[in-house]
Amino acid sequence: MMIKLTISAAVRTKLKDKHRVQELEIEECFLEEHGGYLIDNREDHTTDPQTLWFIGKTYRGRLLKIVFASSNGNIYIKTAYEPNVEEIRMYEKSSNK
């Protein structure tokens, strides 16, 4: 069962051209077990609804940082890319993995 993601044309282009991330990989990360969602509470990233993120693993084992907002049952993808060491450390610490 795949989930319904909303991805704007601009974000879709950035995912493809800059980050080499496919929509299917993002869906896989949502479906795989992960340590929950963290709030992006940096002042310059504050949004309504809140920006959330997590690090997930695709079925092929690729780690991705997924950044999104959720409203009325819809998931709006903001970006997705391979996380750096600091992002992985922060996520593992916050999610008690």
Q: What is the mean pLDDT of the chain?
A: 90
pLDDT at res. 46: 64
Q: CB–CB of 27/5 below 8 Å?
A: yes
4 has pLDDT over 60? yes
pLDDT at res. 2: 57
- Closest of 88, 74, 77 to residue 19, by C-alpha: 77
Q: Which stretches within 1-97 are classed as H helix?
A: 9-14, 23-31, 85-94
Q: What is the pLDDT of residues 31-69, one digit of tens each?
A: 987 789 999 876 665 666 899 999 999 999 999 999 999
Q: What is the pLDDT of residues 6-39, one digit of tens each?
A: 999 999 999 999 999 999 999 999 998 778 999 9
Show the tokens assigned to 40.
């992006």
